[in-house]
């Protein structure tokens, strides 16, 4: 769709939500009447950038969010409204640190190398009470609730409504299930180009929250909302193709252990980049204080965290950071539900392209059960223990920062450091419980 005004006339749209995502993953929007959309498509909707997490000041000029008509989505639950992802510009230049701009730049870099990155995500979420303090289904109490058919059917109205909408939108949803934690669900749709996946991931989070609210519930993608239960992951499946999307550049029988699991030399090098930059990746794939309650968690009620804590890769084994479940693709199991949809895709491409350029070696494959025997791996780096460690690892990785853009990297490190400082200055109940009588 090239003309949003025409889209409005054809679809009966009255309003457009011109939306962008800030550095903390917050979705910001203006509601624009269809009568004004032609001007907005040409000029952009004006925002005060300082008012959101973009590392701008009150003295900066207006930031304009220019809608991308290729990304327009009519809200299935409110058809008179259409959502459209936007690119942030200021005085005619793209805002360097705006997440969608960062991703678009990396997609273009991959295209220069003759490559087209395709991805899918597994976005897990909890359905809680409106206050967000407990699971909404009081009967969802099983010790091993994963795939519980009674529990998923008790939330049929919510899950089926969201899946119906994805079918209507042509996303190719193919399965929905109750996940490993009580009150947790996962919904899967088809993989696509990285930018398309990021836009859909962003809209999916908005849609899930909106439908949950409609049913009197609260949906959360928080990495670890409930102590003792499995956290919300956002596993990413990655493959790289030629520019026309017909030949999988990852598929093949390259040399050594990567060839044995069906990765080409290019696939091995892309994976090598992921492994080489793994510690720094965490600052973006696991971007909150709470994230490190998931990837460094003790055993959960179900018996496993399903999250990594060490930089290892394997074949079809879910206990490692990277899994190669079949030829021509791999799964990055590090990201969590708080990951920014655009920065998640961007950092995957950045690390992978870095690996291709340096012909990075992913290191030895490990096929052990990391949850039972992980202590026997002594030569693999551990993932960061907290957000501060992740920020420091990211800031020290000059190659990855350059791939993402030094302007973006500087803003991201600055704001995330401020977030950490805010966290450590907060006085908690734990401190009083453990220190008051010392």
21-52 pLDDT, tens digit each: 999 999 999 999 999 999 999 999 999 999 99
Q: Is the pLDDT of residue 326 over 70?
A: yes
Q: Is the pLDDT of residue 114 over 90?
A: yes
126-143 pLDDT, tens digit each: 999 999 999 999 999 999
Which residue has 């409609």 as its token pair? 214
pLDDT at 296: 81
358-367 pLDDT, tens digit each: 999 999 999 9
Residue of 99, 94, 73 whose CA lies nearest to 84: 73
Residue of 235, 251, 258, 271 whose CA lies nearest to 365: 258
Specify the pTM. Answer: 0.96
| First-to-final CA distance of the chain | 66
pLDDT at 305: 77
pLDDT range class, residue 301, cuts 50, 70, 90: low
pLDDT range class, residue 303, cuts 50, 70, 90: low
Burial of 76 (0-12, 13-18, 19+ CB in 10 A): middle
DSSP 8-class letter at 311: -
Q: Is the pLDDT of residue 434 over 70?
A: yes
Residue of 297, 142, 137 whose CA lies nearest to 227: 297
CA–CA distance, 202 with 191 (Å, rounded to integer): 14
391-426 pLDDT, tens digit each: 999 999 999 999 999 999 999 999 999 999 999 999
Q: Is the pLDDT of residue 216 over 70?
A: yes
Q: Quick check: 84 and 69 in contact, CB under 8 A?
A: yes
Asked which of 34-48, 62-76, 302-316, 358-372 is least confident by mean pLDDT, the reply is 302-316
**Beta strands, E only, 129-262:** 175-178, 184-188, 192-193, 218-220, 234-241
Q: Quick check: 346 and 404 in contact, CB under 8 A?
A: yes
The b/e string for 21-53 (b: 16+ C-beta within 10 A; e otherwise) is: bbbbbebbbbebebeebeebbeebbebebeebb
| Tokens, residue 13 | 């749209």
pLDDT at 254: 79
Question: What is the Cα gyration radius of the chain?
Answer: 22
CA–CA distance, 99 with 341 (Å, rounded to integer): 9
pLDDT at 255: 83
């Amino acid at each position: 769709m090239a003309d949003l005004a025409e889209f409005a006339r054809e679809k009966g749209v009255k309003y457009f939500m011109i939306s962008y995502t800030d550095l903390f993953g917050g979705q910001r929007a203006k509601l624009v009447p269809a009568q004004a959309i032609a001007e907005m498509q040409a000029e952009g909707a004006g925002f005060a950038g300082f008012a959101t997490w973009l590392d701008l000041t009150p003295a900066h000029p207006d930031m304009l969010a220019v809608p991308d008509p290729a990304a327009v989505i009519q809200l299935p639950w409110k058809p008179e409204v259409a959502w459209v992802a936007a690119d942030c510009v200021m005085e005619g230049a793209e805002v360097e640190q705006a997440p969608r701009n960062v991703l678009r730049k990396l997609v273009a870099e991959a295209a220069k190398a003759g490559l087209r990155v395709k991805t899918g995500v597994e976005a897990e979420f909890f359905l809680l009470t409106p206050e967000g303090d407990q699971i909404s289904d009081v009967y969802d109490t099983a010790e091993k609730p994963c795939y519980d058919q009674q529990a998923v059917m008790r939330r049929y109205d919510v899950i089926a409504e969201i899946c119906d909408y994805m079918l209507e939108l042509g996303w190719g949803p193919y399965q929905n299930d109750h996940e490993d934690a009580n009150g947790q669900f996962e919904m899967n749709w088809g993989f696509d180009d990285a930018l398309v996946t990021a836009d859909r991931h962003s809209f999916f989070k908005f849609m899930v929250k909106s439908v949950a609210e409609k049913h009197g519930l609260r949906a959360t993608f928080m990495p670890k909302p409930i102590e003792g239960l499995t956290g919300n992951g956002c596993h990413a499946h990655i493959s790289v193709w030629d520019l026309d999307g017909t030949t999988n550049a990852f598929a093949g029988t390259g040399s050594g252990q990567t060839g044995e699991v069906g990765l080409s030399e290019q696939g091995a090098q892309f994976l090598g980049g992921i492994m080489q930059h793994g510690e720094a990746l965490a600052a973006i794939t696991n971007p909150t204080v709470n994230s490190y309650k998931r990837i460094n968690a003790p055993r959960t009620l179900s018996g496993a965290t399903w999250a990594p804590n060490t930089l290892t890769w394997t074949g079809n084994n879910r206990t490692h950071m990277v899994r190669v479940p079949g030829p021509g693709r791999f799964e990055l199991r590090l990201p969590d539900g708080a990951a920014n949809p655009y920065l998640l895709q961007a950092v995957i491409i950045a690390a992978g392209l870095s690996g291709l350029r340096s012909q990075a070696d992913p290191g030895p494959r490990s096929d052990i059960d990391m949850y039972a025997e992980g202590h026997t791996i002594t030569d693999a780096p551990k993932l960061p223990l907290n957000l501060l460690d992740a920020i420091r690892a990211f800031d020290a990785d000059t190659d990855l920062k350059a791939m993402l853009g030094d302007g973006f990297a500087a803003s991201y490190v600055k704001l995330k450091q401020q977030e950490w400082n805010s966290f450590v200055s907060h006085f908690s109940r734990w401190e009083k419980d453990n220190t008051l009588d010392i």
